[in-house]
Amino acid sequence: DDPAVLAVLNRGAGVVLADLEAHDRALQHYLDSMAASERLGDTVEEGKTASNIGNLYNILGDLEAARDYHLRALDRFERMDWPMGVAGASINLGSVEGKLGERAARAGQEEAARRANQALLDHNARALEIFQALDNRRGIAYASNNLGTALDRLGQPEQAMAYHNTALELRREIGDVFGVIQSLMTMADSNRALGELEQAGQLLDEAEAELPEGQLSLAVELAERRVRLAEAGEDFRQALAFQREVTRIRSEMHEEESVRSVQELRVAFDAEQQEQEIELLRSEALIAELRAQRQRLLFQVSVSIGLLLVALILLLYGRYRLRVRANRELHRAANTDTLTGLANRREVSRQIEAGIEHNRQSGEPFALILADIDDFKPINDRLGHTAGDAVLVHLARILTETVRGRDVVARWGGEEFLLYLPSTELMAARKVAQNLSDAVKRMPLEIDGEQIALTLTFGVTEFGAGDTAESAIAAADQAMYRGKQRGKNQILTAD
């Protein structure tokens, strides 16, 4: 019942569960830890737990909740006059505002995007001032890189370059290889914004030369920047080639992760056996010491028991996590469209069936949107299958960047996309379809110097009582067909 022990144990369990992607259980432990810290009056511990919760909501895509908890953490650290905590909370708030800015930009909300990117700038400016006072060079580099990113987004790439150069210089001095690569890539973004495409390409080449072997996640990020650079230079064939490289690297990552998971299972088993023996010896030593110093060590024994419980959680979940990770990657490879990287027909059907089961148990609605590319066959016939593939990849990216993180975008057929929207009623789904239509119209595709204006026809339906997956999809298909009959570039709801 000791609040200090409860706070430490629950926060530790929350960290473990969050790493295992058991987000609901992790959140409950974090809330229990924060309640215990409040009862104890431990303001710093309360602030740390609020930061953990903010990071969890950030991962889940609930950015408003993430911002609220990071503001709470900032308030607690300011009360205790803890500069490092204030700087860390400012960095976390900047991360949230950066994502809010990206979301607003995708939705065409320019003023909201500007405000969010200004907040990203202000939070990191405060963090930079604190890190400079503490002579924390790693923190200075991190905040400087974020300031450069904020200025890029605010349309000030020339001012951004000074911060990128500072971050790059410090990261080279402290030997932060991955930080150097990140700085080179963000500097390339600034050069691309300034129209200095050749210099941007040279920076990406330098980043690739620094890239350690086997760092596939950074390789993907680098290849994605090459896609954007090629698009900026209107070299869409090269952009498509780099996009295929992105898909190839992601596939290699999935295969490598599966092999690594098997190896980790073997190593983890031996390590866990040794951990058990060590913990047993520690327990025996503690028992012997308690006979002579029982009163003084009572609290330490409680903490030790807590550590043993955490070790037990790690022991029980370690192998399970490795197995789940291997299965998840195999599942992802089997349920992803090779060209676009979207969910395939099999995966979205599984998601819809799960949504139907949830609907029957809770009554929570969900909606489907079926979208078909208007006049796709003439584009394919006139410009060739390579151009058709470019259209599909281009639209897949727009759809994915425009919807919410929990929504599922799938390639349903040759030129059809199916979207599954959990917790969404019909009118809200229609608004999503309108946002998608507007986003597609704002971003035409150019191929070999020719601008291709693209539109989609949408059929929207809400799953109703007595529906099946097949009947709901058929309703969306019929609504889309009626839209085609009315002249295409339409959004129609099911009767």
Given this model, what pLDDT does residue 310 score? Answer: 73
Mean pLDDT of 272-298: 55
Mean pLDDT of 33-43: 90
Task: Kindly tell me if the per-residue pLDDT of 264 is higher than 50.
Answer: no
139 plus 248 within the same structural domain: yes
Question: Could you say which DSSP state residue 70 is in?
Answer: H
> Does residue 23 lie within any of the structural domains?
yes
> Does residue 397 lie within any of the structural domains?
yes
355 plus 252 within the same structural domain: no
- Choose among 470, 476, 398, 392: nearest CA to 430: 476
- Tokens 């202000």 map to which residue? 122
Question: How does strand 416-422 pair with strand 408-411?
Answer: antiparallel
- What is the CATH classification number for the domain harbouring 363? 3.30.70.270
Count of positions (residues) in the chain: 495
Which of 219, 244, 261 lies at the terminal end of a domain, its last residue? 261
> Does residue 276 lie within any of the structural domains?
no
Which of 261, 283, 305 lies at the terminal end of a domain, its last residue? 261
- On the 0-12 / 13-18 / 19+ scale of CB atoms within 10 A, 331 is middle
> Does residue 36 lie within any of the structural domains?
yes
> Does residue 280 lie within any of the structural domains?
no
Given this model, what pLDDT does residue 275 score? Answer: 46
> Which of 85-94, 230-239, 325-334, 382-391 shows the lowest per-residue confidence on average (mean pLDDT)?
325-334
Q: What is the pLDDT of residues 151-179, one digit of tens each?
A: 999 999 999 989 989 998 999 898 888 88
Given this model, what pLDDT does residue 248 score? Answer: 87
> Which of 193-197, 312-316, 344-348 shows the lowest per-residue confidence on average (mean pLDDT)?
312-316
User: Is residue 228 very low, low, confident or very high in pLDDT (cuts 50, 70, 90)?
Assistant: confident
Around Cβ 281, how many Cβ atoms within 10 Å? 10
255 plus 349 within the same structural domain: no
Task: Kindly tell me if the per-residue pLDDT of 327 is higher than 80.
Answer: no
Given this model, what pLDDT does residue 457 score? Answer: 98
> Does residue 331 lie within any of the structural domains?
no
Task: Kindly tell me if the per-residue pLDDT of 398 is higher than 70.
Answer: yes
229 plus 364 within the same structural domain: no
For residue 382, what are the domain limits? 345-493
Distance between CA atoms of residues 29 and 9, nearest Å: 9
Which of 223, 243, 261 lies at the terminal end of a domain, its last residue? 261
> Does residue 382 lie within any of the structural domains?
yes
**Which carries the bigger pLDDT value, residue 381 or residue 268?**
381
Handedness of CA 354, 356, 360, 365 (dihedral sign): positive
50 plus 191 within the same structural domain: yes
Around Cβ 119, how many Cβ atoms within 10 Å? 19
Task: Kindly tell me if the per-residue pLDDT of 281 is higher than 50.
Answer: no
User: Is residue 269 very low, low, confident or very high in pLDDT (cuts 50, 70, 90)?
Assistant: very low
Q: How many domains does the chain have?
A: 2
Given this model, what pLDDT does residue 70 score? Answer: 94
234 plus 357 within the same structural domain: no
- What is the CATH classification number for the domain harbouring 219? 1.25.40.10
- What percent of the chain lies above the pLDDT cut of 70? 89
Given this model, what pLDDT does residue 262 score? Answer: 46
> Does residue 226 lie within any of the structural domains?
yes
Across the chain, mean pLDDT equals 87
Q: Is the pTM of this model over 0.75?
A: no
Q: What is the pLDDT of residues 209-226, one digit of tens each?
A: 888 887 888 888 888 888
